[in-house]
Amino acid sequence: MGDEPETPFDSVESAQQFVELLVESIEEARRDVDAAISAPQPERRLQALQLVSFKLAKLAVHMETGRRLLNDLRTLRRLLLSERAPEEDDQASPNLPSL
């Protein structure tokens, strides 16, 4: 586990960076689609753009969930590998029982 990552997805942090880039791309695409929806369009094209907007919104929700899961995994790894100082743990979560 302590080895250097060989590919961009060998560490939680690199996966988090990828998810951040993906979230930014999704938001950019949503802005473009929303701008296209507000312009005059044939009905069929408007419906397709609305469906694209809906799917991008769903994808954004899934990416946010993935972001939280990756953060949880990073936190758990730090706890398991004792990468955090004990004082930090006590201050960060005073109401949680110790493992």
Contacts of 79 (CB under 8 A, 6+ apart): 89, 99
∠ CA 17-69-34, rounded to 5°: 65
- Tens of pLDDT, residues 15-71: 999 999 999 999 999 999 999 999 999 999 999 999 999 999 999 999 999 999 999
- Cα gap 55→11, rounded to integer Å: 28
- The domain locations on the chain are 12-83
Residue type, 82: S
- Tens of pLDDT, residues 18-32: 999 999 999 999 999
Higher-confidence residue of 2 and 80: namely 80
Q: What are the CA-CA distances from residue 49 to residues 15, 34, 60, 94 (Å)?
A: 30, 8, 16, 48
